[in-house]
Chains A and B, each alone.
Chain A
């Protein structure tokens, strides 16, 4: 390339970017990023569908360079790709579906503070290089290595802005519970860092009340989930809740355990079989939906309650943000995009 301008046009002509400009992945920039992870550059992290591109550590580093990442971000990005290619996630489906879900990366553990994630106000909307460029690098891997190009083969009717970058960190000090997300999901310890991926819709803000019992805010969150407009209403799957610092403080102060919150949401967030019958979507794919329901749902009883997740463990619960409203992100139902957690390898030079 003779100039940065030439590179930018080159990247668009070769469809190496999804629309936003990207930085040139020079051999020097790629080498710097490879120095950030203690893995051979030709190590295969995964094969990324639908294109079937091989995500070696080097290919990931190239896309990270285009995103503007720092070398110390590399272990997080590698872990995210490992999680995304897990069969449980059904990345092929997530990359091609007509639905709007996009893969979200949630980082937990000491890496959140060390890498400078914004876990406070505006955490979904920028303000931090870590949030923005790690999420961007993951997206570019899915675009370039995975070939998930808009329109074909990605048939998402609308997608959402998270397709440019979609990465947050957990605010553990503000969490109602002392253990980070990955430990609560049974992986690693509090000294480890991890990523959890889940395919989800755009964040929906849930209004809140200050200085009220936590149950009132939990009820409002459950109410926001009890809609006919998302796949969770029909085929359940999983659903993300990000408690705001204020709501999390109430949950903690009122003594709610994680299990109690899950059980409450499971019993409160959903619709009756009769109400689902109001939806044209339900009638369109009724037989398919009924075949996926667990035994505890009686499809012939209009008063039978259909929770938005199959089991209380289907809620992915974390904490971030300011004092005000929490956020819910609906999933893709039972089709896939289900949450997967992977531990992050120690950074180069980090005790670990």
Chain B
């Protein structure tokens, strides 16, 4: 029987969540990533149209929950220099940047 939440008097209940199965990493994320020794910082660039939120939200959750990363999301809203500078600044301390593109 799974983990029970003990009750004070009447009844206990069993957690409905189930254990998380973590995928095997082909290559582990590096421990060094942040000067403060915190979790690896990964950039995620939304680059595209319809359906992209699916990919960013899924990839973000995967990185956060499965790989213990902190995630910075930036949207490619236009092609201006200012937007590019903002993006670069946000991604400058990331270990890697993932570009999530719409099909």
Any A CB within 8 A of the CB of B89: no
Contact (Cβ within 8 A) B11 A153: no
* B66 with A52: CB separation less than 8 A: yes
**Do residues A47 and B21 form an inter-chain contact, with CB atoms below 8 A?**
yes
Instruction: Please name the residue on chain B nearest to A61 by beta carbon.
Output: B14
Taking CB atoms and an 8 Å cut-off, the chain A residues in 282-313 that contact chain B are 284-285, 288
Binds B, one of A25-33, A110-118, A267-275, A318-326: A25-33
CB distance from B20 to the nearest CB of A (A): 5
Q: Which residues of A, 59-92, contact B by the 8 Å Cβ criterion?
A: 59, 62-63, 65-66, 92
Residue of A nearest to B49 (CB): A284
Report A129-162 CB contacts with B as 1/0, cut-off 8 Å.
0000000000010001101000011010000000
Residues of B with C-beta under 8 A to A1:
5, 7-8, 10-13
Docked complex Cα distance between A173 and B17 (Å): 39
The residue on A at minimum CB distance from B51 is A98
Contacts of B102 in A (CB 8 A): 285, 288
Which of the segments B25-33, B37-45, B55-63, B76-84 contacts the partner chain? B55-63
**Those of A8-64 within 8 Å (CB) of chain B:** 10, 16, 24-27, 30-31, 41, 47-48, 50-56, 58-59, 62-63
Q: Write the chain A residue with the least CB distance to B56.
A: A155
- Whether A256 is near chain B, meaning CB under 8 Å from some CB there, is no
CB distance from A45 to the nearest CB of B (A): 10
Contact B17 A153 (CB under 8 A): no
Give which listed residue, A16, A30, A97, contacts B51 with CB less than 8 A: A97
B19 touches A (CB below 8 Å)? yes
Q: Is A2 an interface residue (CB 8 A)?
A: yes
Check if A54 sits within 8 Å of B19, measured CB to CB.
yes
Interface status of B35 (Cβ within 8 A of chain A): no
Cross-interface CB contact of B20 among A51, A96, A284, cutoff 8 Å: A51
Interface residue from A16, A92, A152, A288 paired with B16 (Cβ < 8 Å): A16
Which residues of A sit under 8 angstroms from B66, Cβ to Cβ?
52
Residues in chain B near residue A51, CB distance under 8 A: 20, 61, 65
Q: Which residues of B contact A52 (CB under 8 A)?
A: 20-23, 65-66
In the complex, are the beta carbons of A58 and B1 less than 8 A apart?
yes
Q: Which residues of B contact A155 (CB under 8 A)?
A: 53-54, 57
Residue in contact with A25 in the complex, picked from B13, B54, B58, CB distance below 8 Å: B13
Contacts of B21 in A (CB 8 A): 47, 52-54
Query: B2 contacts A153, CB within 8 Å?
Result: no
Contact A50 B18 (CB under 8 A): no
Q: Which residue of B is nearest A67, CB measured? A: B16
CB of B7 within 8 A of CB of A2, answer yes
Query: How many whole Å from A151's CB to the nearest CB in chain B?
Result: 9
B67 to chain A, nearest CB (A): 11
Cα–Cα, bound, A187→B99 (Å): 42
Known contacts A47-B21, A98-B53; is-contact A153 B58 (Cβ 8 Å)? yes
A93 at the interface (CB under 8 A from B): yes
Q: Please state if A26 and B11 are interface contacts (CB–CB under 8 Å).
A: yes
User: Which chain A residues lie closer than 8 Å to B10 at the CB level?
Assistant: 1-3
Contacts of A55 in B (CB 8 A): 18
- Does any Cβ of B come within 8 Å of A264's Cβ? no
Determine whether the beta carbon of B14 is less than 8 Å from that of A25: yes
Q: How far, in Å, is A257 (CB) from chain B's closest CB?
A: 37
Distance of A27 Cα from B1 Cα, bound (Å): 8
The answer, yes or no, to whether A205 is at the interface (CB within 8 Å) is: no
* Cα–Cα, bound, A152→B4 (Å): 27
A-B CB contact pairs (8 Å), 9 listed: A1-B12, A25-B13, A50-B62, A52-B66, A53-B21, A62-B2, A93-B54, A98-B50, A147-B61
Residues of A within 8 A of B (CB): 1-3, 7, 10, 16, 24-27, 30-31, 41, 47-48, 50-56, 58-59, 62-63, 65-66, 92-93, 96-99, 140, 144-145, 147, 152-153, 155, 281, 284-285, 288, 335
